[in-house]
Amino acid sequence: MRIGALSLIAALTLASISTQAQEKPADSIADNPEIRKSVVKIFTTSREPDLARPYKKQDPEESSGSGVVIDGKRILTNNHVVRYAQRILVQPEGSSDKLKARVVATGAGIDLAVIELEDATFFDSHPPITFADQLPEVGQGVVSYGYPLGGDALSITKGIVSRIEYAPYDSDTMGLRIQVDAALNHGNSGGPVVSGDKLVGIVFSGIDTAQNIGYLIPVDEVKAFLEDIADGRYDSRPQLYLSLQTLENDALRSFLKMPKGWNGIVVSKSFDESSGNPLRKWDVIDTIGEHDIDDAGMVTVKPNLRLSFEYFVPKLAAGGMIELGIIRAGEKMTVKVPVASTRHRVIRGLNGGYPSFFLIGPLQFTPVYEEHRGIDARLLAMRGSPILNRGLDEPAFEGEELVAGPFRMFAHATSKGYDAGFFPILKSVNGVAIKNLRHLVETLRDLKDEYVTFEWHDDAVESLVFRREELINSTEEILDDNSIRSQMSDDLKDVWNTTGH
């Protein structure tokens, strides 16, 4: 079990693909010398977080990916290629030079990143690639450039566009996705896929159980990302966060008084009136802008291309709202519905950051992150862990955070006879319900009781009782024995140190 494994899209990223590329004969590929000049190999040395030991990073790992030169003397690649990178080197095609680079912008959700070189003269002889003006057609031929494992030379493979869809990426992000049948492998990530001499997409993932199925981030999403980061910050595009179901069942249509020829997608969960969202359970969303929505929630974008109606949300939203046509109790009306760039969940992702943590005695605590959910789902389910059963919940109150106990307690006399399982979710300390990690630190800081009792939400996890003075006094000894430099992450020091601990 590798506790530090982090990405929600790890099952899809090209790092997990081991099938050997089956390249077409060289004479069947329209190699473009100018494109070659724009493609680079990216070497990274990265240190990911270690959720089992949140007070330290994992050991350095070497990896490589691909990238392409774009306007502004920049290089575009995948976020997962440079995530947690401590060092980035860029190697041009046909050269042994490795140039120092740094990350200037990332979009974890859409899996894109921009890097810059310390020596900008590189761009004098390496021109930016030209972007396509529109989506490719299904069946259109494409060529992939990149550096998959198995050699140092630039690899070029040919394929066709198999499918275009509006699909989930990471961190609740939705976007266009292009499926191609070109042979793509680990190392192709971040590389360009072109049609003719223009970029149609950036390689970002594949499926490890299938051959010659790869996915691209299309130019539409790339352009939106670059516009987003123009102010130096990635905000993500506005989206609708709704519970929906199809309107294909005849009984459901009759129940909702939907005559023949009326179509749409059904809202399956009402919103609290205080949320500002006017949608109610059983509303049928039938139009978005000028586009009719069918009973599966799809709209016709152009001949032979149907996408989820949510494709138009970022295009039509304005001022944090979007106008939708709905049918309620057999009557048509128009409503304005709020949109947001992120969904508020009680469990959030690390998104390229490192976990907060607090250590006291033999215990360590950290907020629950999305990455915890992939650790041992079977055991977590047996314990009824909130890590699983609250994974999609919105916070029950402002600032709510699940607080996880240790993966394993530190060996010390104070922990004699105790077994807290792994990552139990803290319920209370001396009867005080814990709201979040900062609240836990405040509670422990202010305690004057002789004993400290920790209770957990999980089934079959032992309650832990310590003498308060022993718990506090053992902390430094445990830190020293385990070569841990700090009792807590920097964001908590202002809380704990207010009374001189």
Instruction: Quote the tokens at residue 20.
Output: 């050997």
Residue 439 is a catalytic residue: no
Residue 80 is a catalytic residue: yes
Q: Are strands 298-302 and 291-292 parallel, antiparallel or unpaired?
A: unpaired
Residue 126 is a catalytic residue: no
Which is nearest to 81 in space by CA: 94, 98, 68?
A: 68
The one catalytic residue in 38, 63, 155, 189 is 189
How long is the chain?
Answer: 501
Which is nearest to 357 in space by CA: 366, 370, 368?
A: 366
Q: Would you say the C-alpha torsion 6, 9, 14, 19 has a positive or negative sign?
A: positive
**291: helix, strand or coil:** strand
Q: How far is CA 194 from CA 149, 170, 256, 361, in A?
A: 21, 24, 47, 57
Which is nearest to 296 in space by CA: 261, 251, 247?
A: 247
Task: Give the per-residue SS3 of 148-205.
Answer: CCCCCCCEEEEEEEEEEEEEECCCCCEEEEEEECCCCCCCCCCCEEEECCEEEEEEEE
The one catalytic residue in 111, 172, 295, 458 is 111
The phi, psi pair for 181, rounded to 5°, reads -105, 10
Residues facing 164 on adjacent strands: 178
Residues facing 282 on adjacent strands: none
The one catalytic residue in 80, 126, 372, 457 is 80
> Quick check: 110 and 131 in contact, CB under 8 A?
no
The HSE-up count of residue 297 (CA atoms within 13 Å, CB side) is 15
Please report where in the chains the tokens 């053992």 appear, as a residue. Answer: 474
Give one DSSP letter per residue of 413-463, joined into a string.
GGGTT----SSPBEEEETTEEP-SHHHHHHHHHH---SEEEEEESSTT---
How many whole angstroms separate alpha carbon 248 and alpha carbon 257? Answer: 13
Q: Which residues are catalytic?
A: 80, 111, 189
